[in-house]
Amino acid sequence: MRDIYTRLLFLGIIIILLSISLLTYRNLSNYIEEVRLVRHSSRVLIAVQAVLSSIKDAETGHRGYQLTRDSNYLKPYFTSVKELPGQIRKLDSLLSFNDKQSRKADTLNGLIENQFMIISQILANARGSSLYMDHYEIRLLARGKKNMDQIRLVVGRIMQEEEKTFNNRISEEVKYRNLAPIALLVYTLIALIGMTILFVRVLQALDKRRMAEERIKENVEALKQEADILEFTQKTLRNILNNSLDGIMAFKSVRDSNKEVMDFEWIMSNDIGLRLTGMSGQELMGKRLLSIMPESKNNGLFDIYLEVVASGTPKRFERLNERNGSWTNVTVVKLEDGFVVTSSDLTTQKKAERDMLIAERLSMTGKMARTIAHEVRNPLTSLNLALEQLKEEMPKDDSFKIYTDVIERNANRIEQLIDEMLNLSKPKELNLELTAIADVIQETIALTIDRMNLNQIKLEISYGDELPRILLDKEKMKIAFLNIIINAIEAMQPGKGILKIETKLKDGFEIVSMIDNGKGIAPEEIEKLFDPFYTDKQGGMGLGLTSTKNILSSHSATVEVRSALEKGTTFSIYFKLA
C-alpha cells in the first residue's frame, strides 16, 4: 500500500510539473509572439510615416518649382520618386498578413500613383508655359490638393488602426511578462518539493539495495560454487564426448500440429560425430535431419529413429555409408522427446576381416593347388605320354586327328591352370626399388594403348603435385595395374568409354584411382571380385584380380572398389608412405 501511495505521489508531482511546464512554455511563447507583434506594429507605423513624408516632399518640391520655376526645388520630388516604390513595397509586405490594413494599403498606393500622375502633368505644363501659373495648372493643383487630402486620410486610418493594435499588443506583452516569473517560481517550488521527496525515497531505496546486494552476494557465492561444479561436470562430459572413439549425436523431435513426429533436429554432436557428417558444429546445430540426410527417408534409418522414439526400445545395427564407403556400428537410444545415436567406425575392422578372408581363401587356394598339382600332374603326364604314343601308332590320315587335338588342347589347358594356381600360391619374391608411381602407370598404359585405341577409349590422366617415390616391385605392380585396366576396358562400350587415372596424396597415403564409366558391378558381387576362379567373362579363369590382390598385399597396399550399375567403377589403391 505504501509503494502505491509513493508511486501516486510521484505521478501527481510529475503531472503538476508537466502542466506548469506547458503553461510556462505557452506563456513564454505568447510573450515572445506579442513582442514580435509589437515590433511589427512599430515597423508598420514607421513605414507609413516614411511613405507620407516622401509624398509630402514630392508635393512641396513641385509647388516650389511652380512658384519660382527654379529646378533646385525639384530635388525632393526626384528623391521621392526614387524612394517611394521601395517604401510602398515594404509597407505592403508588413500589412500583407492583415486583410483590412492590406486593402487600405492598396487604396493608398492607388492614391499615390494618382498624385504622381497629377504632379507629372503639372510639371509638363510648367515646362511648356511662359506664365508662372495658368488656369490649367490651377485646376491640376486643386485636383492634387484634393487627392493629397485623401492620402492623408488613408494614412491616418492606417496609423490609427495600427496604433490601436500596437497598444493592445503592449498590454498583452505586459500581462505575459508579469505571469512568467510567477509560473517559474511555482515550477521551481514544486520541483524542489518533488526533488526533496525523491531524495528521501532514493536514500531509502539505497539502503534497501545495499541490504539486497549483501544477500545477493551471499547467494552469488553459493551459485558460484554450484557453477564451478557444473562447469567442471560439463568440461568433463565434453572431454569424455570429444575423446570418445565413437561418434555421438543427439536429436529432438519436431512435431506437427497433430503432435506427430515429422522430423528431428540436431541438438548435440561430439567431434567424431561432426567428422562423420563432414560439417562444423555451427553449420549442423539446429538443422533438420531430413535436410542434411534426405537419404535416411529411403534407406530405413528414419523409420528406425521413429520406432525408437515411439517404443523406447534401443536399436543396434551395422550400416554402410554409401557416400564414402565406410562401415559403422550404430546404436540408437531414446532421450526424452528425441534420441541419441552412437556410431562406431567399423571400416578398419571390416577391411581387416575382408583381407583375412581373402588371405584364407588364397591360403586355401594354395593348398588346393599343391594338392591338385600332386594328384593330377602324375596322371596328366601319363595321359600325355599315352597320347604321344597313340599319335605315333595311329594312321597318317586326318580321321582321328580331330580327337587327338581335342585331348591335347584340354590337357595343355589343365597344365596351364595348374601352373597358374601354383604361381598364385607361391610367396611373391619382391625386387623393391624406389620408384615413381607415374612411371609405372605410363609403362602399363603403353602395354594397353593399342587395345584402348581399338575400342576408341578416351584416356584422362591427372598426376598429383610432387608425389614422392615409393618402394615397389615395378614389374609385378605393372601386372597388378594391367589387370585392373584391362577389366576397365572390357567393361566399357567401344566409342563411349572414358578411363580416368588419378594420383594424389592424402592422410599419409599415395592413392592411385582408376575410374571407368562402364557397366558397373552389383554391390553383392564386389566382395567376390578378388576370390580365386570368380569371373563373369567367357573363357576367363578368374585369377587376374586374385593375382592383383596378392601383389598389392605383398606391397602392404590396400584396394577399395566403389561401383554403381550402368555408371562405372572406381578402383582406389592406397600405398602407405614411409
What DSSP string describes 256-314?
-TTS-EEEEEEEEE-HHHHHHHT--HHHHTT-BHHHH-GGGGTSSHHHHHHHHHHH---
Gap between the Cα atoms of 75 and 51, Å rounded: 17
Q: Is the pLDDT of residue 174 over 60?
A: yes
Write the pLDDT tens digit of every residue in 85-113: 888 888 778 877 778 888 887 888 888 88
Q: Is the pLDDT of residue 259 over 60?
A: yes
For domain 247-345, give the fold: Beta-Lactamase (3.30.450)
Domain ranges of the chain: 2-206, 247-345, 350-425, 433-576
- Looking at mean pLDDT, say which of 29-43, 63-77, 280-294, 473-487 comes out highest: 473-487
Q: What is the mean pLDDT of residues 12-21?
A: 73
Q: What is the mean pLDDT of residues 518-545?
A: 71
Q: Do 101 and 95 form a contact (C-beta atoms < 8 A)? A: yes
Q: Is the pLDDT of residue 131 over 70?
A: no
Amino acid sitting at position 295 = E
C-alpha cell at 277: 557428417
DSSP annotation of 572: E
- Looking at mean pLDDT, say which of 150-159, 183-192, 396-405, 509-518 comes out highest: 509-518
- For 60-69, letters b (16+ CB in 10 Å) and e give ebbbbbbeee
Write the pLDDT tens digit of every residue in 436-450: 999 999 999 998 898
Gap between the Cα atoms of 103 and 99, Å rounded: 6
Q: Do domains 247-345 and 433-576 have the same CATH topology?
A: no
Give 406 or 507, the one with higher predicted confidence: 507
Give 141 or 349, the one with higher predicted confidence: 141
- List beta partners, residue 504: 511
Count H helices and E strands in the chain, helices first. 14, 12
Strands 433-435 and 247-255: unpaired
- For the ranges 106-110, 223-227, 371-375, the lowest mean pLDDT is seen at 371-375
* Structure confidence at residue 503 (pLDDT): 94
Gap between the Cα atoms of 216 and 353, Å rounded: 63
- For the ranges 154-168, 397-411, 414-428, the lowest mean pLDDT is seen at 414-428
Q: Do 286 and 269 form a contact (C-beta atoms < 8 A)? A: no
* Structure confidence at residue 423 (pLDDT): 61
Give 398 or 560, the one with higher predicted confidence: 560
CA angle, residues 45, 49, 52, in degrees to nearest 5: 140
Q: What is the pTM of this model?
A: 0.40
Other CB atoms closer than 10 Å to residue 577's CB: what's the count? 11
C-alpha cell at 468: 614422392
Percent of the chain with pLDDT over 90: 10
Q: Is the pLDDT of residue 288 over 90?
A: no
Percent of the chain with pLDDT over 70: 78
* Structure confidence at residue 458 (pLDDT): 93
**What count of residues does the chain have?**
578
* Structure confidence at residue 31 (pLDDT): 66
Q: What is the mean pLDDT of residues 123-146?
A: 72
Q: Is the pLDDT of residue 229 over 90?
A: no
C-alpha cell at 494: 567401344
Gap between the Cα atoms of 243 and 327, Å rounded: 20
Amino acid sitting at position 217 = K
* Structure confidence at residue 511 (pLDDT): 94
CATH code assigned to 433-576: 3.30.565.10
* Structure confidence at residue 120 (pLDDT): 79
Amino acid sitting at position 566 = E
Gap between the Cα atoms of 138 and 487, Å rounded: 138
Average pLDDT score over the chain: 78
Write the pLDDT tens digit of every residue in 43-89: 878 888 888 888 887 778 777 777 777 778 778 878 887 888 888 88
Architecture of domain 350-425: Orthogonal Bundle (1.10)
* Structure confidence at residue 240 (pLDDT): 65
C-alpha cell at 292: 542434411
